[in-house]
Amino acid sequence: MRRFDTREIRVARRTTSRAINRQTVLELIRTHQPISRAGLARVMGLHRSAVGLIVAELMTEGLIREGRTGEASRGRKPTLLHLDTRGRCAVAADVRATRTLLVLTDLTGHELTPLSSFPTECDPDAFVADLARRVRELLAGHPDAGSCEGLGVAMSGMLDRTGTTVVHAPALGWRDVPITEPLSHALGLPVVMENAAKACALAQLWATRKDVPTPGDIVFVSVSDGVGGGVIVGGEVLRGRHNVAGEFGHMLISIDGPPCACGANGCWEMYVSNLATLSRYVGRPYLPRRPLPAELSQLTVDDLAVRARSGDVKALTAVHTTARYLGLGLATIVNTLDPDRVYVSGEITNAWDLVEGAVRAGMSERTLVAAAADTEIVVVQPDEHPRLRGAAALVGGPAFVSSR
Ligand SMILES: [Zn+2]
């Protein structure tokens, strides 16, 4: 797969390589659009004529286009440049244990259709057939979206290094299930799959909306039914030898802790997942793989936040305890990876005003360097759909990373 590497921008200042300057122009237009040729030349420290040649080439290839004219204090008004997302689209799928979400986007991740959601088929063959049928229907219903560049899949589970096979998805009960090849065969389209939390981390790197990505190493922690993680170091997803780097949910909190779905005891997710928080509230031990007690199946972390705000001390204690464990785990992440920024997503972020103090206190308790306790934490709200953004970025990102 082609590389995402925002550091190429820095490299380009030290080289005259035309290919790298091309990629830099694309990256700058993506993050600063609309921008003029003169603006590009200024940021890149290149002569206008050199930028003009690259721009002309990218326009001929249909990757960028001219838009309206900008303001100028004197002389001719500059024509502003945009990425050309017209006539091309992507499909993004967020596959969770219970439901799958699907949306059609342009190549910068903007949604072109409302989200659709349907139960996830647990049988792999049925899953592939069902998802392929729904993607075909979605595309057939929107012929004006243009040609589809591919399907991006954010998958709840661990993937092999090639990203084609689900090695283990405990909640779906899948082991060694090939997904992208049968899906691609059924659809006649490229299919790119990524672990959901790694996809979320990628989406922050390849910010597909107006937000300009901030440089630096980042960690993404997603807290929901389980806890997932993704790490970006040096502009690339950290995978490790077995593509399991970033599986923070199974960090050890206590060897005597409750049994986890992974077979071990006392994993972090047994203390901070939504079910852990809800179990704490109703005073029940949290046992994965058992049917949910009736009082938990209707309750959500959002409900708990509402109750905590209205003075329910038990609810406030439950979310505060989760927040403390969240902070303790984040301290371990900061001590081992020392990232520039940590993104946290999941329902607990809807109660961030209630829990941030306890998260910070938990971090301060365990970080080795005082300044590390102040590592920036960026909350990603559930309605931002980070997993779908990540899935869209799997297709849209490489489409604008020049390797032609
Ligand atoms: Zn575990």
Cβ neighbours for 355, distance < 8 A, ≥ 6 positions apart: 319, 320, 322, 323, 326, 348
Terminal alpha carbon distance of the chain: 13
Q: What is the pLDDT of residue 189?
A: 95
Crossing angle of helices 18-32 and 37-44, in 10° steps, is 120
Which of 197, 191, 203, 149 is CA-nearest to residue 389? 203
Q: How far is the CA of 171 from the centre of ligand 1 (A)?
A: 12
Q: How far is the CA of 326 from the centre of ligand 1 (A)?
A: 15
CATH number, domain with residue 26: 1.10.10.10
CATH number, domain with residue 129: 3.30.420.40
Is the sign of the CA dihedral 45, 37, 1, 91 positive or negative? positive
Q: What is the pTM of this model?
A: 0.81
Residue 43: give the domain boundaries.
Answer: 8-83
Chain segment 348-391, per-residue pLDDT in tens: 999 999 999 999 999 999 999 888 889 999 999 888 899 999 99
316 and 243 in one domain? Answer: yes
135 and 274 in one domain? Answer: no
Is the sign of the CA dihedral 256, 259, 264, 270 positive or negative? negative
Pairing relation of β-strands 35-36 and 79-83? antiparallel
| Residue 202 located in a structural domain | yes
Total domains in the fold of the chain:
3
| Residue 213 located in a structural domain | no
What are the φ/ψ torsions at residue 214 (nearest 5 degrees)? -95, 140
222 and 175 in one domain? Answer: no
How many CA atoms within 13 Å lie on the side-chain side of 86?
A: 9
193 and 127 in one domain? Answer: yes
Q: How far is the CA of 254 from the centre of ligand 1 (A)?
A: 11
195 and 95 in one domain? Answer: yes
Q: What is the pLDDT of residue 172?
A: 85
Q: At which of 68, 83, 98 does a domain end? A: 83
| Residue 3 located in a structural domain | no
| Residue 72 located in a structural domain | yes
| Residue 300 located in a structural domain | yes
180 and 273 in one domain? Answer: no
197 and 135 in one domain? Answer: yes
CA atoms of 231 and 247, how far apart (whole Å):
10
24 and 67 in one domain? Answer: yes
244 and 104 in one domain? Answer: no
Q: How far is the CA of 126 from the centre of ligand 1 (A)?
A: 28
| Residue 327 located in a structural domain | yes
Q: How far is the CA of 231 from the centre of ligand 1 (A)?
A: 19
Q: How far is the CA of 227 from the centre of ligand 1 (A)?
A: 9
Question: Does an H or E element contain 353, and which?
Answer: helix 352-366
Q: What is the pLDDT of residue 91?
A: 97
Alpha-carbon Rg of the chain, whole angstroms? 23
| Residue 242 located in a structural domain | yes
Q: Beginning with the edge strand found earlier in the chain, give each strand of the sheet holding 165-169 in spatial order.
A: 158-159, 165-169, 174-178
112 and 231 in one domain? Answer: no
Q: How far is the CA of 124 from the centre of ligand 1 (A)?
A: 24
pLDDT under 50: residue ranges of the chain: 1-16, 208-210, 402-404
CA atoms of 218 and 341, how far apart (whole Å):
5
Q: How far is the CA of 170 from the centre of ligand 1 (A)?
A: 10
Token pair of 376 as six digits: 């920036």
- Per the DSSP assignment, residues forming a β-bridge with 101 are 94, 117
233 and 151 in one domain? Answer: no
31 and 75 in one domain? Answer: yes
Q: What is the pLDDT of residue 45?
A: 87
Q: How far is the CA of 204 from the centre of ligand 1 (A)?
A: 26
Other Cβ atoms within 10 Å of 51 Cβ, number: 23
C-alpha to C-alpha distances, 301 to 206, 296, 339, nearest whole angstrom: 29, 10, 28
Q: What is the pLDDT of residue 82?
A: 87
| Residue 259 located in a structural domain | yes
